[in-house]
Amino acid sequence: IMRRRERLLDRTQTFRPEVLRRDLSRQDQRLKEVLARLARAGRADQDRRRRQIDAMGRTLGTLGYRETLARGFAVVRGDGDVVTSAEAAKNAARLEIEFSDGRLAVKGES
């Protein structure tokens, strides 16, 4: 009976208001810490993703066709479509060459 009484007293101690308040306060503090860590992790992830997007944007900017023209390349069009071979250029009724600073019509051989 004494052991049962001691066990019962031990168990009832956990239901005392001051013990419950202390436990609740500890849990509240742990929750605040977890929320703060979660907020920091979210900001860090957002910053990392923003840097990745910025880097991809810079890469995309260097790969755009206008940037390619600025590096000295040209786009040849035949009858309005991009020409990718000498044969297609020979068969086009009219040719146009686009440079970084404008377009020129090209006269074919007669």
Kindly indicate the confidence band of residue 52, based on its pLDDT and cuts at 50, 70 and 90.
very high
Contact 104, 97 (CB under 8 A): yes
Cα separation, 37 vs 40, in Å, equals 5
- pLDDT tens digits, residue range 33-42? 999 999 999 9
Contact 77, 89 (CB under 8 A): no
- Of 47, 46, 28, whose CA–CA distance to 36 is shortest? 28
- Token digits for 24? 């609740």
* Number of Cβ atoms within 10 Å of the Cβ of 83: 19
Among the residue ranges 13-17, 19-23, 71-75, the one predicted with the least confidence is: 13-17
Q: The pTM is what?
A: 0.50
